[in-house]
Amino acid sequence: MNVIYLYCRPGFENECAAEIQEKAGWNDIYGFIKLKKNEGLVEFHVYEQSQVDVLIQKLPLTRLIFARQWFAALGEPLELPEYNRVEAIAEQLGDDFRYEDLRVETLDTNDGKALSKFSRKLSVPLRQHLRKSGILAEKEQGEQGRGATNLHALFFSGQLVQLGYSYVANSSNLPMGIPRLKFPSKAPSRSTLKLDEAFLYFIPREEWDTRLTSGLNAVDLGSAPGGWTYQLVRRGMMVKAVDNGPMADSLMDTGQVKHYQQDGFKFRPSKKNNYWLVCDMIENSTRVARLMASWIVDGDCKEAMFNLKLQPGKARYQQVMKNLQQIKDTMSEHDIWYEMYAKHLYYDREEVTVHVRVLGNK
Ligand SMILES: C[S@@+](CC[C@H](N)C(=O)[O-])C[C@H]1O[C@@H](n2cnc3c(N)ncnc32)[C@H](O)[C@@H]1O
User: Is the dihedral angle over the CA atoms 318, 322, 327, 331 positive or is it negative?
Assistant: positive
What pLDDT score was predicted for residue 143? 63
**CATH classification number, 3-177, choose in 3.40.50.720, 3.30.70.2810, 3.30.450.20, 3.40.630.30:** 3.30.70.2810
Report the alpha-carbon distance of residue 259 to residue 353 in Å, rounded.
24
102 SS3 class = strand
Burial 310-319 (b: 16+ CB within 10 A, else e): beeeeebbeb
What pLDDT score was predicted for residue 134? 92
Please, are residues 16 and 6 in contact by the beta-carbon 8 Å criterion?
yes
How are strands ordered across the β-sheet holding 276-279? 257-260, 238-242, 217-221, 276-279, 303-309, 351-361, 336-343
> What is the per-residue DSSP string for 75-98?
SSPEEPPSS-HHHHHHHHHTTS--
What positions carry a catalytic annotation?
309
For a substitution probing ligand 1, which of 243, 278, 287 has the most ligand atoms within 8 Å of its CB? 243
How far, in Å, from the CA of 311 to the mean position of ligand 1? 17
Report the alpha-carbon distance of residue 101 to residue 32 in Å, rounded.
29
User: Is the dihedral angle over the CA atoms 163, 98, 70, 200 positive or is it negative?
Assistant: positive
Q: Who's near 50: CB < 8 A, 6+ residues apart?
A: none
Please, are residues 269 and 156 in contact by the beta-carbon 8 Å criterion?
no
Q: Answer whether 243 contacts ligand 1 (Cβ < 6 A).
A: yes
Backbone angles phi, psi at 332, to 5 degrees: -75, -30
31 SS3 class = strand
Q: Tell me the pTM.
A: 0.96
What pLDDT score was predicted for residue 142? 57
Chain centroid, CA 54 distance in Å: 21
What angle in degrees, to the nearest 10, is found between the helix axes of 316-333 and 285-297? 20
Determine how β-strand 3-7 pairs with β-strand 69-73. antiparallel
Q: Answer whether 265 contacts ligand 1 (Cβ < 6 A).
A: yes
99 SS3 class = strand
How far, in Å, from the CA of 223 to the mean position of ligand 1? 5
Beta strands in 238-298 (DSSP E): 238-242, 257-260, 276-279
CATH superfamily of 192-361: Vaccinia Virus protein VP39 (3.40.50.150)
Report the alpha-carbon distance of residue 187 to residue 201 in Å, rounded.
20
For a substitution probing ligand 1, which of 199, 262, 267, 281 has the most ligand atoms within 8 Å of its CB? 281
What pLDDT score was predicted for residue 138? 75
Please list the alpha-helical segments (H only) found in 234-283. 249-252
Report the alpha-carbon distance of residue 187 to residue 182 in Å, rounded.
11
Nearest to 316 by CA among 69, 33, 65: 65
Nearest to 186 by CA among 245, 234, 126, 220: 234
Length of the chain: 362
Please, are residues 154 and 130 in contact by the beta-carbon 8 Å criterion?
no
Q: Who's near 302: CB < 8 A, 6+ residues apart?
A: 275, 276, 357, 358
| pLDDT tens, N- to C-terminus, the chain (362 residues) | 799 999 999 999 999 999 999 999 999 999 999 998 999 999 999 999 999 999 999 999 999 999 999 999 999 999 999 999 999 999 999 988 899 999 999 999 999 999 999 999 999 999 999 999 999 987 665 566 678 999 999 999 999 999 999 999 999 999 999 999 999 999 999 999 999 999 999 999 999 999 999 999 999 999 999 999 999 999 999 999 999 999 999 999 999 999 999 999 999 999 999 999 999 999 999 999 999 999 999 999 999 999 999 988 779 999 999 999 999 999 999 999 999 999 999 999 999 999 999 997 76
Where are the chain's structural domains?
Answer: 3-177, 192-361
How far, in Å, from the CA of 262 to the mean position of ligand 1? 11
